[in-house]
Amino acid sequence: MSKIPKTWMPKVQMRRIVCHWTAGTYQASALDRKHYHILVEGDGNLVRGKHSIADNQSTTDGKYAAHTARLNTGSIGLTVCCMAGARERPFDPGRFPMTERQWRTMAQAAADLCVAYEIPVTSRTVLGHGEVQRNLGVAQSGKWDPMVLPWEPRLPTEQVGERFRELVRAFIDGVVPDESLGADLDAKILGVALKGSLHADEEAFLKVESLVQDVGWQLLNASRDTLALLPSGHTMPLFLNGVFLDGETVVPDEATESEVAELMMSHGYVRAAAAAAALELPLVFDLEKNRIEIGDKPPRRSTKPPEHRRWVVEPGDTLYALAARHLGNGARWHELLQSDGQPFDEASARLLAPGDVVLIPGLAGAAVSEELAPPSIEALPVPEELTWLDGSTIHALAAACVGSVDAGLRRFAEESIPVILAECLASGVNTRTQIAYVLATSEHESQCGKFMVEIWGPTPDQKRYEGRKDLDNTQKGDGFRFRGRGYVQITGRHNYRFWSKRLGIDLLSRPDLTYQDPSIAARILVQGMRDGTFRPAHKLPRYVNDDVADFYNAREVINGDKARVDSGHTDDRGTRIARIAERYLSSMS
């Protein structure tokens, strides 16, 4: 079945197909459509360029798709939309890496073009932009697209080109393997059987849903490329790449945090090798019996928190990308360590391969001065203002609040509510109504601490973070770097700078401290609401005090979105958060 509509392929004489990537996002821009005839977007859909293929039969009139310098006449420009911010050495695919789905679709489109225009599949007639200078002798100023595969970056460019042409021939001959998930696999972790595991592309994949339901792991956070999974009995989560194997499932740009997690639960997988390496357990793979087993005994636990977090390299990972993601600046890749604790140099960085272990500094926990940490609940005296406790203890108050939370969030509430309550009392937020609304805000913004980092799509709203003057996002990448974190999800360079000065902690260079240390997250939440730092004209006591408990309009303290109705809900945000606050208030009565 043809991938390209017949109307897109006018009957003219064409000599070759040159394949590219746009060096942009997963969507075709107006400029992209001007330079290429056919474009493959991130979801695998084809987009027709501004110029017809016929326009490049002759280029003397100046009206044609200019995709390859000095080689546009008789050439069809075929491209994948991706690789914005990519760099060749050390290789970094950027935030929009070319996907296997795009690669496969481009090969299928090339096959359609070869058939329609009777173009033979050779290294001179079907080639990548990065092959033009070597294969045809036409200089291209160091172009290298699309000759590096993010999922197999060490494959030589000559082999990349030949592999692509083999795939094109397979599509023409109708012998391409279908895109079904793969073969069923018998998999176990520490003796516990997993459902839905698969063997595909010579790799073993574990279904996220089974890890959660059968093994007892918890899915703490999910984004397009990373899952935070907490194995039972562990205190630190594993960070693994989540993948979809059905060739159809994609995360929509507008997907909410819960929607991303639901997609990962229903359709997502992780690589078994990466999970085994992160757990520091052996993996036995019996191909003849189509069976794998991870671990033959429980892993040894260290009682001392590690100074570095282990990251198991997945296809497409680079040191530059890991440093940009976890340290806020790709140029800090020299701070990452090899598994033996030795630093990387240029040579070892180029040898990075899937399955390797990288040690990321300062992520297992960070020391915070004792004066910043709120006192524990047990150490707090009962303030005179809390006469409404009627002789009960603050500890019992925390337990009552935790008990009112939905069962699915209770584990996170058990950790977050005592810290937030202690900060409330230490900061003079003493009334039941004020405490109830602070806790309701935390539940709405972070699901009681379940999602302490904003899941990044980016969605259309998140894309607008970049360059926002009111957030002082003045540097490229600030939108992602200063995305929402903590119990209240502070966002933007301005807010991170403000809290850096107020708390005496450098959150600009270490923004992740706002969620890694619960005491910092609690201070920002409680003091920010009390003092109106999020919206200066809107302090918590203005709406919630001894005389008034206007839970609906109190949303103004955090954001002016109280009337917004989120997808999947019938009530607006103000009403939903007010209802949560009423529930907490009832538990304290």
List 48's β-bridge partners, or say none: 38
How confident is residue 75, by pLDDT bands cut at 50, 70 and 90?
Answer: very high
Range in 275-289, 419-433, 486-500 the model is least confident about:
275-289
pLDDT digits (tens, 9 = 90+) for 329-382: 555 677 888 888 888 876 787 788 877 888 887 543 333 333 334 444 444 555
Query: Does the pTM of the predicted model rise above 0.75?
Result: no
Residue 79 pLDDT more than 70?
yes
Cβ(169)–Cβ(151) under 8 Å? no
Contact 209, 217 (CB under 8 A): no
For residue 248, give the 3-state DSSP assignment.
coil
Q: What pLDDT, on the 0 to 100 scale, is given for residue 177?
A: 53
Predicted local confidence at residue 419, as pLDDT: 86
Mean confidence (pLDDT) of the chain: 83
For each of the domains in the chain, give its residue range(s) and CATH number, in order of start: 6-173 (3.40.80.10), 183-299+306-361 (no CATH), 368-589 (1.10.530.10)
Question: What does the chain come to in residues?
Answer: 589
Looking at residue 307, what is its pLDDT? 61
Residue 248 has pLDDT above 70, yes or no: no
User: What is the rounded (10 degree) CA torsion for 336, 338, 342, 347?
Assistant: -90
CA angle 140, 144, 148 (to 5 degrees): 165
Residue 14 pLDDT grade (very low, low, confident, very high; cuts 50, 70, 90): very high
Highest mean pLDDT: which range of 410-414, 437-441, 449-453, 501-505 = 437-441
What number is the average pLDDT over the span 265-287? 80
pLDDT value at residue 361: 76
Confidence of residue 297 (pLDDT cuts 50, 70, 90): very low
pLDDT digits (tens, 9 = 90+) for 475-489: 888 888 898 889 999
C-alpha–C-alpha distance, residues 431 and 12, integer Å: 79
Name the pLDDT band for 126 (thresholds 50, 70, 90): very high
The DSSP letter of residue 87 is B
pLDDT of amino acid 305: 40
Average pLDDT on 6-13 reads 94
Q: Provide mean pLDDT across the span 436-458.
A: 86
Residue 301 has pLDDT above 90, yes or no: no
Note the pLDDT of residue 201: 57
What phi-psi label fits residue 316: left (phi over 0), alpha (psi between -120 and 50 degrees) or beta? left
In the chain, DSSP finds a helix count (H) and a strand count (E) of 19, 20
Question: Averaged over 227-254, what is the pLDDT?
Answer: 78
What's the pLDDT at 140?
A: 94
Dist. CA 68–CA 127, nearest whole Å? 12
Give 516-546 pLDDT, tens digit per residue: 778 889 999 999 999 999 988 899 999 999 8
Looking at residue 449, what is its pLDDT? Answer: 86
Q: Can you read off the two tokens belonging to residue 386?
A: 């809390």
Tell me what the mean pLDDT of segment 23-40 comes to: 93
Q: Which of 44-53, 143-152, 377-386 has the weakest average pLDDT?
A: 377-386
Closest by alpha carbon to 538, among 574, 508, 505, 503? 574
